[in-house]
Amino acid sequence: MKVNRKTLSAAILGAAFTLPTAAAGQAIDFDRGTDMNAVGETVRDGASAEKWPFVMVGNSLRATRDCKFFAFRAGDLLVSPPALLQSSVYRTVCEQYAGKEHCYDELVRTEKRNVTVTLRGNRTMLPWERDVFNVCLKDTAVTVEVDEASHRYKIGKKAGPDTYEVQAVAAGKLTTEPDWAGISVASWNISAQSGGLELALKDKWAAVYGKGKDEKTLIKVTLKMAKAHWFDPVILEKEFLLSPADVYSMDFSKYALEFRQPLEFGQKYFAQWGFKRKGKLSKESFINGGETERIFLPLP
Judged on CB neighbours under 10 Å (0-12, 13-18, 19+), 288 is exposed
CA distances from 107 to 60, 92, 93, 111 (A): 13, 9, 10, 11
3-state secondary structure of 70: strand
Cα separation, 136 vs 82, in Å, equals 13
Residue 197 vs residue 28, higher pLDDT? 197
Helix (H, G, I), strand (E, B) or coil at 284: coil
pLDDT digits (tens, 9 = 90+) for 105-156: 999 999 999 999 999 999 999 999 999 999 999 999 999 999 999 999 999 9
Rounded CA-CA distance 143/175 in Å is: 25
Q: How large is the average pLDDT for residues 75-95?
A: 95
What's residue 20's pLDDT? Answer: 42
**What pLDDT, on the 0 to 100 scale, is given for residue 35?**
53
What pTM was estimated for this model as a whole? 0.73
> For residues 225 and 267, what is the distance between their CA atoms, to the nearest angstrom?
7
Among residues 133, 163, 9, 26, which one has the least CA distance to residue 70? 133
Task: Say what the pLDDT of residue 56 is.
Answer: 54
**How confident is residue 162, by pLDDT bands cut at 50, 70 and 90?**
confident
- One-letter identity of residue 133: F
Q: With 50 as the cut, is the pLDDT of residue 17 above it?
A: no
Q: What residue ranges define each of the domains in the chain, with the CATH number in brackets?
A: 5-48 (no CATH), 57-173 (no CATH), 183-296 (2.60.40.10)
